[in-house]
Structure 1
Amino acid sequence: MTSVPEGLVVFIDGSLAGTTPVASFVVIPGKHIIEVLAPDRYRWIAARAVDTITVTAGEMRSIDMTPHDELVVISIPSDAAVYGDVGLLGRTPFRIPFIGEPAWQTLSFERSGYRPAVVGVRPDSTLLVLVRLELAAGRQEMPDVLEGEGPMTIRDGKGVLVSGAAMVVAGVISAYSKDRANRAYSTYRQTLDPQALKDVRLYDRLSAVATLTTQISFAAFAYFLMAK
């Protein structure tokens, strides 16, 4: 397996297979999910590429994948319709890969009972858009892309503390579980021990749950941080 650029992390069915270029790896016949990620970045916003392949017994496949950065779009409250130059892009929260020349230089947020919001997106630098929608009867300014500028008042300090701590703990558990799954997978490849394969699946599930908890905690952290 090769990638552009090289040095990307490769996962097969959620288990670490190595970094590109990968000379070869052995899988059982059937369908498999191949995922490559840019290293040293938070996994949920990392540049990535995902492909599903089906292999038969004795078959050899050459795979070439190119990851793309993704724009993460979040609104408070969620379930807001987001429109770009090409029409409806999705409902928050969601992710959009940057492929080629992006067709959305601006994003329009619409949700029943709330004022519409329009934000600008810089495809060369923006990876996260976080918008707090205002009630239709409100008189506050239109929200914008989170830039980290200007004053911010934190009203719910306890909420920020708890959600932030949960995010950190869940992140540590996710990393630990993924490391244990990778070790178990290496053992399985060397010994073909069924128990090692069970351990891989167990720790992968635990890592997935912890990763989801991290994302939910991040959303709660952002909400408490921006709450007025």
Structure 2
Amino acid sequence: MKRLLWLPVLILFAFLPFSYGQQQIGWLRLTCKKQPAAVQIDSTSISPSRDTLLTLTPGIHSITALSPNRADWLVRDFHAKISIHASDTATVVITFPRYILLTSRPAGAFVCKNDSLLGRTPYIGKWRALKFKTIQVKKRGYFTQQIFLSGRNKARFTVVLQKDPAFWEQFRIIQRKKQLRKKRLHWSAAGTGGVALASGMAAYFLKKRANEAYNRYRNTPYPDQIKRFYDEAHHYDNFAGTTYLFFEVNLIASAVLLLQSLSK
């Protein structure tokens, strides 16, 4: 009778390791349409196939699957992190992200979707985000092109933008006006610069004459000539100051006009 009482206890202890082991493993099923070039779970490489069932320990694992088309850089590798629970099966469908390359002639056009800016050409975007969407390619001076990505578009395509004749005609008129304005500013700067040069030379010679008259005033031995030399020095000195002020004003005006002509 005592042996029969111990029998359930022995059976329980016999099945405990099996139950404990079952709770410490999980399964991961990997499926994909195209067989990847290589698959790596954490740091372990496994044989690639379209349908794989793996036994893993519970926790978070990283999955990397290399694209089978290694020559096409618009098809990227698959990367994901998956949480494995004990006694549970997680399924991961491997899909290789596809991208599109949109170029335009001329380059540098804006790529928009629903009035939101995506980027500028050459533009690389995710195919899944743009599939069955209409995008606009815009550039100043060209008509806007609308493209519907139906799913049959090639991964690489180029949009040729057509010029807007009205814009370029207006642009030529504006450029012509700018050129005329620049020429006028150049001539004005040259004219005021010439006046500044002439007034500067005149101020120099007048100041020289004023100094000569002042030296005669100081060194003359004739008292009746003192007042005449003094008045002459004062006269030339006033003219030299006026012409020098005229020189400074014209020099500043010439510099301003020249800077304006270079900035337009």
Q: TM-score, normalised by structure 1?
A: 0.39
Identify, as 1 or 2, the structure richer in helix.
Answer: 2
Higher RCO structure (Cα 8 Å, ≥6 apart): 1
Larger radius of gyration between Structure 1 and Structure 2: 2
Q: TM-score, normalised by structure 2?
A: 0.35
